[in-house]
């Protein structure tokens, strides 16, 4: 581990700081990485290198900084141009690795995949038709069952009304028999209504 120096900066130290920082600017690196590299060379902290650069050294190298930035921009433009050329070359079959055999193999695979997709589409359409037929059948059965239910409910109401009418008739007959029995004396038969609504003769 390098000893952290506390002594004053020499012109040689300033020159090392300037050269390393300008190189990082030119190559697209960060000033922080430049300060770390200088700190390792000079035995100082990256913070001390950064402070020295911003407070003193930078002012002396403004022109060099602008040149370094211009060189970096030029380098970036060249890199982008080379990358664009590689992409365009790949698009027209340059060094992309696409041979006639590769193209034929790709097209055959594509054809097989399309055939499989068409087969799956037909299968799904068939299943959809079957489901629609089942749905139509169930809807028809539902309509029939609703019709039967309405008929049963109507019959039930009719039977229930007839039963109530019969009970009322029997109740009136019972009351009439009781009245006639009271009028004719003890010799006439008497009736009573059972729990199931049937008349039972009482001797």
- pLDDT tens for 23-56 read 999 998 899 999 999 999 999 999 999 999 999 9
Provide the H-helix boundaries in 11-94: 11-27, 31-42, 46-52, 58-60, 62-91
Give dist(CA 178, CA 25) in Å, integer: 126
> What's the pLDDT at 166?
92
Q: Where are the alpha helices (DSSP H) in 92-199?
A: 100-184
pLDDT at 198: 67
The reply to whether 122 falls in a domain is no
Within a domain: residue 81? yes
Residue 42 included in any domain: yes
Spatial CB neighbours of 120, under 8 Å, sequence gap ≥ 6: none
What mean pLDDT value characterizes the chain? 84
Q: Is residue 140 part of a domain?
A: no
User: Would the pLDDT of 180 be above 80?
Assistant: no
- Is 19 domain-assigned? yes
CB-based burial of residue 126 (10 Å sphere; 0-12 exposed, 13-18 middle, 19+ buried)?
exposed
In a domain, 84, yes or no: yes
Full domain range(s) for residue 80: 11-91
- Is 57 inside any structural domain? yes
Position 1 scores a pLDDT of 47
9, two tokens:
């900066």
Whether 117 maps to a domain, the answer reads no
Residue range 127-143: mean pLDDT, rounded: 90
- Per DSSP, what are the bridge partners of residue 193? 199
pLDDT at position 3 is 58
Average pLDDT over every residue of 163-175? 89
């Amino acid at each position: 581990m390098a000893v952290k120096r506390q002594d004053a900066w020499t012109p040689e130290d300033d020159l090392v700081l300037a050269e390393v920082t300008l190189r990082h600017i030119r190559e697209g690196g960060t000033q922080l990485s430049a300060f770390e590299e200088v700190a390792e060379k000079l035995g100082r902290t990256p913070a001390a290198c950064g402070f020295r650069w911003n407070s003193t050294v930078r002012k002396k190298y403004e022109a060099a900084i602008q040149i370094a930035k211009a060189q970096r921009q030029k380098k970036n433009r060249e890199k982008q141009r080379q990358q664009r050329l590689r992409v365009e070359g790949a698009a027209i079959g340059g060094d992309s690795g696409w041979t006639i055999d590769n193209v034929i193999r790709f097209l055959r695979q594509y054809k097989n995949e399309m055939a499989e997709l068409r087969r799956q589409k037909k299968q799904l359409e068939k299943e959809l038709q079957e489901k629609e037929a089942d749905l139509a059948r169930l809807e028809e059965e539902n309509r029939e069952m609703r019709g039967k239910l309405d008929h049963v409910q109507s019959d039930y109401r009719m039977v229930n009304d007839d039963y109530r009418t019969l009970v009322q008739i029997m109740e009136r007959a019972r009351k009439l028999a009781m009245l006639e029995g009271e009028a004719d004396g003890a010799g006439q038969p008497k009736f009573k209504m059972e729990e199931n609504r049937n008349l039972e003769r009482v001797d």
